[in-house]
Structure 1
Protein backbone atom coordinates (compact mmCIF):
# COMPACT_ATOMS: atom_id res chain seq x y z
CA UNK A 1 0.00 0.00 0.00
CA UNK A 2 1.20 3.45 -0.79
CA UNK A 3 0.19 6.66 0.91
CA UNK A 4 1.00 10.20 -0.12
CA UNK A 5 3.47 11.93 2.15
CA UNK A 6 1.00 14.81 2.52
CA UNK A 7 -1.66 12.37 3.80
CA UNK A 8 0.73 10.85 6.33
CA UNK A 9 1.99 14.25 7.48
CA UNK A 10 -1.56 15.56 7.94
CA UNK A 11 -2.40 12.61 10.17
CA UNK A 12 0.75 12.97 12.25
CA UNK A 13 0.24 16.73 12.64
CA UNK A 14 -3.43 16.62 13.63
CA UNK A 15 -3.11 13.70 16.06
CA UNK A 16 -2.72 14.52 19.74
CA UNK A 17 -3.80 11.33 21.57
CA UNK A 18 -3.01 7.77 20.48
CA UNK A 19 -4.37 4.54 21.95
CA UNK A 20 -1.74 1.85 21.34
CA UNK A 21 -3.43 -1.56 21.28
CA UNK A 22 -1.09 -4.43 22.08
CA UNK A 23 1.58 -2.32 23.75
CA UNK A 24 4.23 -4.23 25.67
CA UNK A 25 5.96 -3.34 28.93
CA UNK A 26 9.13 -4.95 27.57
CA UNK A 27 11.47 -2.17 26.35
CA UNK A 28 12.93 -4.34 23.56
CA UNK A 29 9.55 -4.91 21.93
CA UNK A 30 8.64 -2.68 18.98
CA UNK A 31 5.28 -1.76 20.52
CA UNK A 32 7.08 -0.39 23.58
CA UNK A 33 9.65 1.72 21.80
CA UNK A 34 7.15 3.06 19.23
CA UNK A 35 4.76 4.09 22.01
CA UNK A 36 7.63 5.61 24.00
CA UNK A 37 8.89 7.49 20.95
CA UNK A 38 5.43 8.92 20.23
CA UNK A 39 5.23 10.08 23.84
CA UNK A 40 8.63 11.76 23.54
CA UNK A 41 7.36 13.60 20.45
CA UNK A 42 4.50 15.14 22.42
CA UNK A 43 1.68 12.72 21.72
CA UNK A 44 -0.38 11.49 24.63
CA UNK A 45 -0.05 7.70 24.51
CA UNK A 46 -2.78 5.60 26.11
CA UNK A 47 -1.60 1.98 26.46
CA UNK A 48 -4.10 -0.84 25.87
CA UNK A 49 -3.24 -4.41 26.80
CA UNK A 50 -5.48 -6.75 28.86
CA UNK A 51 -2.46 -8.49 30.39
CA UNK A 52 -1.14 -5.20 31.77
CA UNK A 53 -4.46 -3.55 32.73
CA UNK A 54 -4.17 -1.36 35.81
CA UNK A 55 -0.41 -0.94 35.54
CA UNK A 56 1.27 2.30 34.46
CA UNK A 57 3.27 2.82 31.26
CA UNK A 58 4.53 6.15 29.92
CA UNK A 59 2.82 7.91 32.83
CA UNK A 60 -0.60 6.56 31.83
CA UNK A 61 -2.82 3.80 33.18
CA UNK A 62 -2.90 0.71 30.98
CA UNK A 63 -6.43 -0.27 29.97
CA UNK A 64 -7.62 -3.78 29.14
CA UNK A 65 -9.78 -2.74 26.19
CA UNK A 66 -10.52 0.34 24.14
CA UNK A 67 -13.98 0.43 25.72
CA UNK A 68 -12.28 0.98 29.11
CA UNK A 69 -10.39 4.10 27.98
CA UNK A 70 -12.17 7.06 29.63
CA UNK A 71 -10.77 9.77 27.33
CA UNK A 72 -11.14 10.57 23.66
CA UNK A 73 -8.39 9.56 21.26
CA UNK A 74 -7.57 10.75 17.76
CA UNK A 75 -5.82 7.60 16.57
CA UNK A 76 -5.80 3.90 17.38
CA UNK A 77 -2.43 2.26 16.63
CA UNK A 78 -2.76 -1.53 16.33
CA UNK A 79 0.08 -3.87 17.35
CA UNK A 80 -1.90 -7.09 17.04
CA UNK A 81 -2.16 -9.86 14.47
CA UNK A 82 -4.23 -9.08 11.39
CA UNK A 83 -6.98 -11.50 12.40
CA UNK A 84 -7.59 -9.43 15.57
CA UNK A 85 -8.12 -6.19 13.63
CA UNK A 86 -11.88 -6.42 12.87
CA UNK A 87 -12.83 -6.65 16.56
CA UNK A 88 -10.45 -3.80 17.44
CA UNK A 89 -11.84 -1.59 14.67
CA UNK A 90 -15.43 -2.35 15.70
CA UNK A 91 -14.63 -1.56 19.34
CA UNK A 92 -12.85 1.68 18.38
CA UNK A 93 -15.70 2.86 16.16
CA UNK A 94 -18.26 2.06 18.86
CA UNK A 95 -16.22 3.88 21.52
CA UNK A 96 -15.30 6.99 19.51
CA UNK A 97 -17.81 8.10 16.85
CA UNK A 98 -15.43 10.93 15.88
CA UNK A 99 -12.27 8.81 15.67
CA UNK A 100 -9.93 10.21 13.03
CA UNK A 101 -7.42 7.43 12.31
CA UNK A 102 -6.90 3.68 12.50
CA UNK A 103 -3.20 2.86 12.03
CA UNK A 104 -2.12 -0.75 11.54
CA UNK A 105 1.52 -1.46 12.23
CA UNK A 106 4.03 -3.07 9.87
CA UNK A 107 2.79 -6.54 8.96
CA UNK A 108 -0.79 -5.78 10.03
CA UNK A 109 -3.45 -5.54 7.32
CA UNK A 110 -7.16 -6.23 7.08
CA UNK A 111 -8.96 -4.93 3.98
CA UNK A 112 -12.52 -5.54 5.22
CA UNK A 113 -11.93 -3.83 8.57
CA UNK A 114 -10.30 -0.93 6.73
CA UNK A 115 -13.36 -0.60 4.49
CA UNK A 116 -15.67 -0.53 7.53
CA UNK A 117 -13.65 2.27 9.14
CA UNK A 118 -13.32 4.23 5.90
CA UNK A 119 -17.07 4.01 5.34
CA UNK A 120 -17.41 5.83 8.68
CA UNK A 121 -15.04 8.58 7.51
CA UNK A 122 -11.98 7.31 9.40
CA UNK A 123 -8.55 7.50 7.76
CA UNK A 124 -6.90 4.07 7.67
CA UNK A 125 -3.26 3.13 7.23
CA UNK A 126 -2.05 -0.44 6.95
CA UNK A 127 1.40 -2.01 7.15
CA UNK A 128 3.09 1.22 8.29
CA UNK A 129 4.73 2.53 11.45
CA UNK A 130 4.00 6.04 12.76
CA UNK A 131 7.48 6.23 14.32
CA UNK A 132 9.19 5.51 11.00
CA UNK A 133 6.90 7.84 9.08
CA UNK A 134 7.37 10.63 11.64
CA UNK A 135 11.13 10.31 11.46
CA UNK A 136 11.09 10.23 7.67
CA UNK A 137 8.67 13.12 7.18
CA UNK A 138 10.06 15.42 9.87
CA UNK A 139 13.74 15.03 9.00
CA UNK A 140 14.93 12.70 11.72
CA UNK A 141 16.18 9.85 9.53
CA UNK A 142 19.69 9.95 8.17
CA UNK A 143 22.00 7.43 6.51
CA UNK A 144 21.45 4.02 8.01
CA UNK A 145 18.03 5.01 9.35
CA UNK A 146 19.17 6.86 12.44
CA UNK A 147 19.92 10.39 13.48
CA UNK A 148 23.58 10.72 14.39
CA UNK A 149 23.19 14.24 15.72
CA UNK A 150 26.42 15.18 13.89
CA UNK A 151 26.37 17.79 11.17
CA UNK A 152 29.58 17.73 9.18
CA UNK A 153 30.81 17.70 5.60
CA UNK A 154 34.06 16.05 6.62
CA UNK A 155 34.52 12.42 5.64
CA UNK A 156 35.28 10.17 8.57
Structure 2
Protein backbone atom coordinates (compact mmCIF):
# COMPACT_ATOMS: atom_id res chain seq x y z
CA UNK A 1 0.00 0.00 0.00
CA UNK A 2 1.14 3.55 -0.72
CA UNK A 3 1.93 5.89 2.14
CA UNK A 4 -1.04 7.84 3.48
CA UNK A 5 -1.32 11.57 2.97
CA UNK A 6 -0.08 13.63 5.91
CA UNK A 7 -2.51 16.57 5.71
CA UNK A 8 -5.60 17.77 3.90
CA UNK A 9 -3.62 20.38 1.92
CA UNK A 10 -1.17 17.67 0.79
CA UNK A 11 -4.03 15.37 -0.15
CA UNK A 12 -5.86 18.06 -2.13
CA UNK A 13 -2.73 19.13 -3.98
CA UNK A 14 -1.44 15.65 -4.87
CA UNK A 15 -4.36 13.19 -4.99
CA UNK A 16 -5.53 12.72 -8.55
CA UNK A 17 -7.95 9.79 -8.46
CA UNK A 18 -11.02 9.99 -6.25
CA UNK A 19 -13.61 7.22 -6.08
CA UNK A 20 -16.91 8.79 -5.05
CA UNK A 21 -18.97 6.14 -3.27
CA UNK A 22 -22.65 7.03 -3.45
CA UNK A 23 -22.27 9.47 -6.35
CA UNK A 24 -25.69 10.44 -7.67
CA UNK A 25 -26.53 11.21 -11.28
CA UNK A 26 -28.85 13.99 -10.04
CA UNK A 27 -27.16 17.40 -10.38
CA UNK A 28 -29.02 18.78 -7.35
CA UNK A 29 -27.44 16.22 -4.99
CA UNK A 30 -24.38 17.20 -2.94
CA UNK A 31 -22.38 14.20 -4.19
CA UNK A 32 -22.84 15.31 -7.80
CA UNK A 33 -22.01 18.95 -7.05
CA UNK A 34 -18.83 18.09 -5.13
CA UNK A 35 -17.64 15.54 -7.70
CA UNK A 36 -18.26 17.97 -10.56
CA UNK A 37 -16.31 20.68 -8.74
CA UNK A 38 -13.38 18.32 -8.13
CA UNK A 39 -13.42 17.25 -11.79
CA UNK A 40 -13.22 20.91 -12.83
CA UNK A 41 -10.14 21.27 -10.65
CA UNK A 42 -8.13 18.44 -12.18
CA UNK A 43 -9.16 15.39 -10.17
CA UNK A 44 -10.17 12.13 -11.83
CA UNK A 45 -13.56 11.10 -10.50
CA UNK A 46 -14.60 7.45 -10.46
CA UNK A 47 -18.30 6.99 -9.67
CA UNK A 48 -19.11 4.02 -7.41
CA UNK A 49 -22.81 3.35 -6.92
CA UNK A 50 -24.52 0.00 -7.55
CA UNK A 51 -27.75 1.82 -8.48
CA UNK A 52 -26.05 3.40 -11.52
CA UNK A 53 -23.46 0.69 -12.30
CA UNK A 54 -22.75 0.51 -16.03
CA UNK A 55 -24.12 4.00 -16.64
CA UNK A 56 -22.18 7.24 -17.04
CA UNK A 57 -22.06 10.00 -14.42
CA UNK A 58 -20.13 13.19 -15.15
CA UNK A 59 -18.78 11.50 -18.27
CA UNK A 60 -17.26 8.61 -16.29
CA UNK A 61 -18.28 4.94 -16.20
CA UNK A 62 -19.97 4.07 -12.89
CA UNK A 63 -18.99 0.92 -11.01
CA UNK A 64 -20.90 -1.16 -8.48
CA UNK A 65 -17.88 -1.58 -6.18
CA UNK A 66 -14.46 -0.11 -5.45
CA UNK A 67 -12.90 -3.45 -6.39
CA UNK A 68 -14.39 -3.24 -9.90
CA UNK A 69 -13.26 0.37 -10.27
CA UNK A 70 -9.72 -0.53 -9.23
CA UNK A 71 -9.51 -3.32 -11.81
CA UNK A 72 -10.18 -0.74 -14.53
CA UNK A 73 -8.29 2.27 -13.17
CA UNK A 74 -5.55 0.99 -10.91
CA UNK A 75 -4.68 2.98 -7.80
CA UNK A 76 -7.38 5.06 -6.17
CA UNK A 77 -5.98 7.80 -3.95
CA UNK A 78 -9.13 8.78 -2.06
CA UNK A 79 -12.36 6.96 -1.31
CA UNK A 80 -14.87 9.72 -0.73
CA UNK A 81 -18.05 8.53 1.01
CA UNK A 82 -21.51 9.92 0.41
CA UNK A 83 -23.26 7.17 2.37
CA UNK A 84 -25.08 6.99 5.69
CA UNK A 85 -22.68 6.61 8.64
CA UNK A 86 -23.93 3.08 9.37
CA UNK A 87 -22.98 2.02 5.82
CA UNK A 88 -19.32 3.09 5.99
CA UNK A 89 -17.64 0.05 7.63
CA UNK A 90 -17.91 -2.15 4.50
CA UNK A 91 -16.66 0.79 2.40
CA UNK A 92 -13.67 1.19 4.73
CA UNK A 93 -12.91 -2.53 4.51
CA UNK A 94 -13.02 -2.43 0.72
CA UNK A 95 -10.93 0.76 0.65
CA UNK A 96 -8.27 -1.06 2.69
CA UNK A 97 -8.47 -4.09 0.38
CA UNK A 98 -7.84 -1.99 -2.74
CA UNK A 99 -4.96 -0.06 -1.16
CA UNK A 100 -6.54 3.41 -1.14
CA UNK A 101 -4.58 6.11 0.69
CA UNK A 102 -7.45 8.06 2.26
CA UNK A 103 -10.97 7.41 3.51
CA UNK A 104 -12.93 10.68 3.36
CA UNK A 105 -16.38 10.88 4.95
CA UNK A 106 -18.45 13.86 3.85
CA UNK A 107 -20.17 16.40 6.10
CA UNK A 108 -22.48 14.66 8.55
CA UNK A 109 -20.78 11.30 8.11
CA UNK A 110 -18.95 10.03 11.20
CA UNK A 111 -18.15 6.38 11.84
CA UNK A 112 -15.38 5.69 14.35
CA UNK A 113 -15.30 1.94 13.62
CA UNK A 114 -14.70 2.62 9.92
CA UNK A 115 -12.06 5.22 10.79
CA UNK A 116 -10.22 2.69 12.98
CA UNK A 117 -10.24 0.10 10.19
CA UNK A 118 -8.71 2.63 7.78
CA UNK A 119 -6.19 4.04 10.26
CA UNK A 120 -5.04 0.56 11.27
CA UNK A 121 -4.22 -0.04 7.60
CA UNK A 122 -2.19 3.19 7.46
CA UNK A 123 -4.74 5.29 5.62
CA UNK A 124 -5.47 8.95 6.26
CA UNK A 125 -9.01 9.44 7.59
CA UNK A 126 -11.13 12.56 7.25
CA UNK A 127 -14.61 12.66 8.80
CA UNK A 128 -17.45 15.15 8.72
CA UNK A 129 -15.77 17.47 6.21
CA UNK A 130 -16.55 18.51 2.65
CA UNK A 131 -13.78 18.10 0.09
CA UNK A 132 -15.16 20.98 -2.01
CA UNK A 133 -15.20 23.36 0.98
CA UNK A 134 -11.69 22.29 1.98
CA UNK A 135 -10.43 22.74 -1.59
CA UNK A 136 -12.01 26.18 -1.90
CA UNK A 137 -10.50 27.26 1.44
CA UNK A 138 -7.05 26.06 0.37
CA UNK A 139 -7.37 27.79 -3.01
CA UNK A 140 -8.27 31.10 -1.31
CA UNK A 141 -5.45 30.72 1.24
CA UNK A 142 -2.69 28.61 -0.34
CA UNK A 143 -0.22 29.26 2.48
CA UNK A 144 -2.73 27.72 4.89
CA UNK A 145 -2.74 30.73 7.20
CA UNK A 146 -5.86 31.68 9.19
TM-score (norm. length: structure 2): 0.87
Q: Counterpart in 1 of 2:114?
A: 113
What is the CA distance between 1:52 and its match in structure 2?
A: 0.4
The alpha-carbon deviation at position 102 of structure 1 amounts to: 0.6
Tell me how far apart the structure 1 counterparts of residues 110 and 32 of structure 2 sit (CA, whole Å). Answer: 20
Shift of 1:57: 1.4
Aligned to 1:75: 78
Q: Distance in 2 between matches of 1:15 and 1:59?
A: 20
In structure 1, how many angstroms separate the alpha carbons of the residues matched to 2:125 and 2:91?
13
Gaps of 5+ in 1: 1-5, 141-156
Which runs of structure 1 show a deviation greater than 4 angstroms over 4 or more consecutive aligned residues? none
Structure 2 partner of 1:17: 17
1:24-43 pair list within 5 angstroms: 24-43=24-43
Residue 152 of structure 1 corresponds to none
**How far, CA to CA, are the matches of 2:44 and 2:121 in structure 1?**
24
Equivalent in the alignment of 1:93: 96
CA deviation vs aligned residue, 1:41-85 (integer Å, no higher than 9, x gap): 000000011010011112210001111112221000000000000
Q: Distance in 1 between matches of 2:11 and 2:54?
A: 29
How far does residue 105 in structure 1 lie from its aligned partner after superposition? 0.2
Unpaired runs of at least 5, structure 2:
1-5, 142-146
Structure number, greater radius of gyration? 1
CA root-mean-square deviation: 1.3
1:132 aligns with 2:137: no
How far has the Cα of 1:100 moved from its partner?
1.2
Counterpart CA distance in 1 for 2:67 and 2:115 is 19
In structure 1, the partner of 2:48 is 48
Query: Could you say which residue in structure 2 is the equivalent of 1:57?
Result: 57
Q: TM-score, normalised by structure 1?
A: 0.82
